[in-house]
Chains A and B, each alone.
Chain A
Amino acid sequence: MAMASTLHSDRQPDKLRSLGIVALNGMFDEMDAVGVMRQAVAEILPGDVAIVSSFGADSVVLLHIAAQVDPSLPIYFLETGKHFPETLAYVEQLKKQLGLINVTAIHPAPHDLARFDPDGDLWETDPDSCCHIRKTEPLEPITEQFGGWVTGRKRFQTKERGVLPHFELTSDDRIKINPLAYFNDADVAAYKAEHDLPEHPLYSHGYKSIGCAPCTSVVAEGEDPRAGRWRGLNKKECGIHYDFSGAIASPMNAADKYSLFKDGTFVADPFRVWDETMVAGEARYAHVPLPVFLENREAFLANPHPLGLLVSPGDRVEDAEADLGRFVSIAIKFPAFTDGRGYSTARLLTERYQYANELRAVGDILQDQIPLMRRCGINAFVITHKPTREALIENRLPEVNIFYQPVGTSEVPVGTRPYLRRAS
């Protein structure tokens, strides 16, 4: 097939490969999951594709598709030594039932365990290092052997994956194949029902996303399935990204528990998100959505407790102009970092209405936006994104700190040109 030879051409592999990827995604955009998998295994990278599976709650669909296309496709199971016995049983059950004949368990290196986790409780104090020796390290020699990896990732699972394509080129020039990219929850359920696939034994006990035993907990009804992973720890994403997740992040310390960054450090946040059960006259330490405030203005103004205001894009701060002084904190919502309405809101609040209390940004915030937000008057940030947190703590934001336009209330003129400013 033409595409296969394009991808394997020696000349300028990177360009041709990325060109190929664009074309592949175009060609297979509409193709179903089995079709994508078959193309990948039979045509695009014959003999050069493998799967890493956690044999967790949502692994079975991908494995079933793999079995249909090629029961001898290499499948690797990360036997971290920390799995539920039910998971290990499930591995055997699926091997038999789906007819998978090439499943290999990979184990952590004994000397690493002896050295770093002799008592088997490293996960408690430093889950990232635990994941490192039990997952990342053992996997490395395996990944090098294959040019392509099939993953079970789905677009809907996290926001960042909203654009997940069927084929991706990794930074080390491998191809990741995501046959389930377009699947949502309902598709997964429908597929399982259609093929009568066995559930993970713990699924019915409330475990919706299953990893190692110590790091998995039950998910409440309606909660994000992944909420059960590393519950209570500030750990969510996985550097490895096969069909499970597990992030490579540094050990937890006290500040990591807090997500409000203010006056140069992460601090405990007295505020809570407004919810429907709160009462206008009694609520305290909550950010009241602007429309809710306007509707019950009298009651809120009579409320003696500290309150905040939540301004979402589309809200007009003008409407609360007279009452801004009532709030000890105003939160400006940035639902997506590309939505810049909050910058205008912030300038109106601080420059035009001289609001001077805490002004925080909440939502999707990256380090690149923070300097701009500060210039517009925002002085506190709710941040969970790890690299952004680190950049904030270490005070190394990618910043241009001289400015061409007068903005805000605290910037200092530079030289004699009328508009030039620098941070104060």
Chain B
Amino acid sequence: MYRYDEFDAAFVRARTGQFANQVERRLKGEISEEQFRPLRLMNGLYLQLHAYMLRIAVPYGTLRSQQMRKLAHVARTHDRGYGHFTTRQNIQFNWPRLKDVPVILSELASVEMHAIQTSGNCIRNVTTDQFAGAAHDEIIDPRPVGEIIRQWSSLHPEFSYLPRKFKIALNGAPHDRAAIRFHDIGLQATTNGDGDIGWEVWVGGGLGRTPMVAKLINSFVPHEHLLAYLESIVRVYNRYGRRDNKFKARIKILVHEEGLETIKGQVEAEFAEMRGGQLTLPQEELDRISAYFAPPAFSALPDTPVDIAREDILDPVYARWLRHNLNRHVQPGYTSLTISLKPVGGSPGDATAEQMEAVADLAERYSFDELRVTHEQNLVLPHVAIRDLRAVYDGLVAVKLAEGNAGLITDIICCPGMDFCSLATARSIPIAQAISQKFAAPERQKDIGDLKIKISGCINACGHHHVGHIGVLGVEKKGEELYQITLGGDATENASVGKILGPGFDADGVPGAIETLVETYLARRENAQENFIAAYRRLGEAPFKEALYGNG
């Protein structure tokens, strides 16, 4: 994991001091809320429905146990005992007081954390695959380059007042677990004809009210030129992105309106000027940063498979957890495991201080001190020896975090919605709770298999509903909450945006409608191996539409 050197530590200290000054000026009334707004946003501080909300960066989703313990401490001391993990691999606290925020930030700085650029119209926290550096199918661990991008984008003077927020995601394996095609810039590791590793650059993806799949702007940018290429794109966006309409200000609209070829021409012209200049990345620097992310000292273990069949008989609940929550590791005898923050009937992504501490202890003991936050609002212990699984499981059971539902229908992504968010037009958490209750029976979940449901409380789509196999979007119509259901979204390398099939449902009708869709799938699938999204692609929307609305 990356460790701060003196420079990094001094930087975060200075930034914390700067923000403390800004808060002080606000409290004294020297600056208006309107003037304070972009400043606090650049430091992750939102004004929500009930109070301020502070969003803390977890760069590329990686945490040490010490950092997790600090988050638990903040939750307990400055919040109401819990935190909320987001779809951006960040954590949010919903109840800090403005005057406490500088204190929280300096506490965080003591464990090498910060809230820099977790909001505002700047380059946001970089995100990546939660199994980075552990997955069996990886071309390259994307985190060293993620760290280099994090540093380059931190308080970048040219790009602090972009037309709109700007999100970069990286993915190091062929299978896209970072939804890179739905980011302003998505970087996909790839190998060129000479066998060198570099990056495909995708641009102009995004969700929100105009969901778009990113377009490939360059099929191979070597590491050494990556920052120059990124700076070229962001400069073109800063200069030409629309500023007249907040809803048309993302780069996806620029790419869409101007056309990929025009933007590509401008980016390439910029890049021609910058290429080989001061942003060239020396191999020694890449090596130096990569060393921080070197694999931990794994033991040489036999490649024993996990015997789920045996556990099915002995302890079916444990078996269920093993079946769904493990991800294949590159190192024999090890696995990555997902800690679901989606208990049936709970608030997706929430964790209490006690749970954070318990997870930190398990990470320290069983996962080389490492933890991950996923964009699906779960946690991951990336490097667990298979022989330790039972012990880890028991530890999770003790704090009610042993839900064996990763990737299943109850592993729902859901934004805060009307319960916390001032932009919401509808509730979302209660909908997620009702759905997970409807499908609570483990056997049924297993039978349904992989199915991603994603819920947003308004068109801003923080719950990524467009890329849910089933998406739910809460809207307000004539004073009533109404839920539109979309089908066929996919955030992976087979990226697609879900389609609306017909009129929406009221809150009570949503679980039933989803059940109808699921029943249709179960009845029409070729076999149990054909999952929901595959069946939908084969069958098309017709049978689902008919089941929901009849054929009239």
A395 → chain B, closest Cβ, in Å?
14
- Whether the pair B154, A404 counts as a contact (CB closer than 8 A) is yes
- Whether the pair B162, A420 counts as a contact (CB closer than 8 A) is no
Taking CB atoms, residues of chain B closer than 8 Å to A72 are: none
Q: Is B256 an interface residue (CB 8 A)?
A: no
Residue in A339, A375, A387 whose beta carbon sits within 8 Å of that of B157 in the complex: A375
Report the bound CA distance from A406 to B49 in whole Å.
40
Assess A343 versus B158: contact at CB under 8 Å? Given A171-B27, A402-B7, A419-B151. yes
Report the bound CA distance from A162 to B158 in whole Å.
26
Q: Is B296 an interface residue (CB 8 A)?
A: no
A189 → chain B, closest Cβ, in Å?
27
Q: Is A389 an interface residue (CB 8 A)?
A: no
- Whether the pair B29, A340 counts as a contact (CB closer than 8 A) is no
Q: Is B278 an interface residue (CB 8 A)?
A: yes
Interface membership of chain B positions 324-345, coded 1 if the CB is closer than 8 angstroms to chain A and 0 otherwise? 0000000000000000000000
Interface membership of chain A positions 344-377, coded 1 if the CB is closer than 8 angstroms to chain B and 0 otherwise? 1101000010000000000000101101110110
- Whether the pair A337, B155 counts as a contact (CB closer than 8 A) is no
- Whether the pair A398, B18 counts as a contact (CB closer than 8 A) is yes
Q: Is B390 an interface residue (CB 8 A)?
A: no
Q: Is A338 an interface residue (CB 8 A)?
A: yes
Assess A372 versus B27: contact at CB under 8 Å? Given A341-B238, A344-B239. no
Report the bound CA distance from A415 to B30 in whole Å.
38
Query: Which of B8-16, B81-89, B451-459, B522-530 lies at the binding interface?
Result: B8-16
Interface membership of chain B positions 126-169, coded 1 if the CB is closer than 8 angstroms to chain A and 0 otherwise? 00000000000000000000000001111111111111000000
Assess A400 versus B158: contact at CB under 8 Å? Given A19-B49, A344-B239, A415-B7. no
Q: Is A213 an interface residue (CB 8 A)?
A: no
Taking CB atoms, residues of chain A closer than 8 Å to B160 are: 340, 343, 372
Q: Is B261 an interface residue (CB 8 A)?
A: no
- Whether the pair A418, B34 counts as a contact (CB closer than 8 A) is no
Taking CB atoms, residues of chain A closer than 8 Å to B155 are: 372, 400, 403-404
Residue in A18, A344, A402, A420 whose beta carbon sits within 8 Å of that of B14 in the complex: A402
Q: Closest residue of chain A to B12, judged by CB?
A: A400
Q: Is B448 an interface residue (CB 8 A)?
A: no
Q: How large is the interface on B (under 10, 10 to 19, 20 to 34, 35 or more residues)?
A: 35 or more
Q: Is A163 an interface residue (CB 8 A)?
A: yes
Taking CB atoms, residues of chain B closer than 8 Å to A337 are: 35, 38, 161
- Whether the pair A400, B281 counts as a contact (CB closer than 8 A) is no
- Whether the pair A400, B50 counts as a contact (CB closer than 8 A) is no
Interface members, chain B 21-38 (any A CB < 8 Å): 21-22, 25, 27, 29-32, 34-35, 38
Residue in B15, B30, B49, B239 whose beta carbon sits within 8 Å of that of A341 in the complex: B239
Interface members, chain A 374-424 (any B CB < 8 Å): 375-376, 387, 398-407, 414-415, 417-420
Q: Is A160 an interface residue (CB 8 A)?
A: yes
Q: Closest residue of chain A to B8, judged by CB?
A: A404
Report the bound CA distance from A20 to B400 in whole Å.
36
- Whether the pair A414, B22 counts as a contact (CB closer than 8 A) is no
- Whether the pair A406, B279 counts as a contact (CB closer than 8 A) is yes
Interface membership of chain A positions 322-349, coded 1 if the CB is closer than 8 angstroms to chain B and 0 otherwise? 0000000000000001111101110100
B320 → chain A, closest Cβ, in Å?
41
Assess A343 versus B50: contact at CB under 8 Å? Given A337-B161, A417-B7. no
Assess A400 versus B39: contact at CB under 8 Å? Given A171-B27, A418-B281. no
- Whether the pair A160, B50 counts as a contact (CB closer than 8 A) is no
Report the bound CA distance from A418 to B152 in whole Å.
11
Interface members, chain B 275-291 (any A CB < 8 Å): 278-279, 281-282, 285, 288
- Whether the pair A401, B14 counts as a contact (CB closer than 8 A) is yes
Q: Is A15 an interface residue (CB 8 A)?
A: yes
Taking CB atoms, residues of chain B closer than 8 Å to A19 are: 49-50
- Whether the pair B278, A18 counts as a contact (CB closer than 8 A) is no
- Whether the pair A340, B235 counts as a contact (CB closer than 8 A) is no
Interface membership of chain A positions 12-46, coded 1 if the CB is closer than 8 angstroms to chain B and 0 otherwise? 00010011001000000000000000000000000
Report the bound CA distance from A339 to B163 in whole Å.
7
B20 → chain A, closest Cβ, in Å?
9
A341 → chain B, closest Cβ, in Å?
6
Interface membership of chain B positions 286-320, coded 1 if the CB is closer than 8 angstroms to chain A and 0 otherwise? 00100000000000000000000000000000000
Assess A163 versus B151: contact at CB under 8 Å? Given A344-B239, A404-B11. no
Assess A340 versus B38: contact at CB under 8 Å? Given A376-B157, A400-B11, A402-B14. no
- Whether the pair A339, B243 counts as a contact (CB closer than 8 A) is yes
- Whether the pair A399, B18 counts as a contact (CB closer than 8 A) is yes
- Whether the pair A340, B162 counts as a contact (CB closer than 8 A) is yes
Report the bound CA distance from A369 to B160 in whole Å.
9
Interface membership of chain B positions 36-69, coded 1 if the CB is closer than 8 angstroms to chain A and 0 otherwise? 0011000000000111000000000000000000
B226 → chain A, closest Cβ, in Å?
13
Q: Closest residue of chain B to A340, judged by CB?
A: B161
Report the bound CA distance from A402 to B4 in whole Å.
14
Report the bound CA distance from A343 to B49 in whole Å.
34
Report the bound CA distance from A366 to B157 in whole Å.
14
Taking CB atoms, residues of chain A closer than 8 Å to B29 are: 171
Kindly name the residue among A341, A369, A371 whose own CB sees the greatest number of chain B CB atoms within 10 A. A341
Assess A400 versus B7: contact at CB under 8 Å? Given A22-B422, A344-B158, A407-B157. no
Report the bound CA distance from A173 to B506 in whole Å.
38
Q: Is B273 an interface residue (CB 8 A)?
A: yes
Taking CB atoms, residues of chain B closer than 8 Å to A344 are: 158, 235, 238-239
A17 → chain B, closest Cβ, in Å?
11
Report the bound CA distance from A341 to B273 in whole Å.
19
- Whether the pair B278, A406 counts as a contact (CB closer than 8 A) is yes
Report the bound CA distance from A128 to B434 in whole Å.
61
- Whether the pair A405, B152 counts as a contact (CB closer than 8 A) is yes
Taking CB atoms, residues of chain B closer than 8 Å to A368 are: 22, 39
A290 → chain B, closest Cβ, in Å?
14
Taking CB atoms, residues of chain A closer than 8 Å to B49 are: 19, 22
Report the bound CA distance from A375 to B14 in whole Å.
16
Kindly name the residue among B27, B121, B151, B158 whose own CB sees the greatest number of chain A CB atoms within 10 A. B158
Q: Closest residue of chain B to A168, judged by CB?
A: B33
Taking CB atoms, residues of chain A closer than 8 Å to B273 are: 352
- Whether the pair B18, A400 counts as a contact (CB closer than 8 A) is yes
Report the bound CA distance from A366 to B470 in whole Å.
46
A363 → chain B, closest Cβ, in Å?
12
- Whether the pair A407, B158 counts as a contact (CB closer than 8 A) is yes
A394 → chain B, closest Cβ, in Å?
13
Taking CB atoms, residues of chain A closer than 8 Å to B239 are: 341, 344-345
- Whether the pair B161, A339 counts as a contact (CB closer than 8 A) is yes
Taking CB atoms, residues of chain B closer than 8 Å to A403 are: 155, 157
Taking CB atoms, residues of chain B closer than 8 Å to A402 are: 7, 10-11, 14
Report the bound CA distance from A398 to B31 in whole Å.
13
Interface members, chain B 105-143 (any A CB < 8 Å): 121
Report the bound CA distance from A404 to B243 in whole Å.
27
A367 → chain B, closest Cβ, in Å?
9
Interface membership of chain B positions 477-488, coded 1 if the CB is closer than 8 angstroms to chain A and 0 otherwise? 000000000000
- Whether the pair B243, A372 counts as a contact (CB closer than 8 A) is no
- Whether the pair A15, B50 counts as a contact (CB closer than 8 A) is yes
Taking CB atoms, residues of chain A closer than 8 Å to B121 are: 338, 340
Q: Which 8 A-B pairs have the closest CB atoms?
A: A340-B161, A372-B157, A375-B157, A400-B14, A406-B278, A398-B18, A398-B21, A343-B158
Residues on A lying within 8 angstroms of B by beta carbon are 15, 18-19, 22, 160, 162-163, 171, 313, 337-341, 343-345, 347, 352, 366, 368-369, 371-373, 375-376, 387, 398-407, 414-415, 417-420
A to B CB contacts below 8 Å, 28 in the list: A22-B422, A163-B34, A171-B29, A313-B243, A337-B161, A340-B160, A341-B238, A343-B157, A343-B159, A366-B35, A368-B39, A372-B155, A372-B157, A376-B158, A399-B18, A400-B15, A402-B10, A402-B11, A402-B14, A404-B11, A404-B151, A404-B152, A404-B155, A404-B156, A405-B154, A407-B156, A417-B285, A418-B281
If A160-B34, A339-B161, A343-B158 are given as contacts, then 16 extra A-B residue pairs at C-beta distance below 8 Å, sorted by A number, are A162-B34, A163-B34, A338-B121, A340-B121, A340-B158, A340-B163, A344-B158, A368-B39, A398-B21, A400-B18, A405-B151, A405-B154, A406-B279, A417-B288, A419-B151, A419-B279
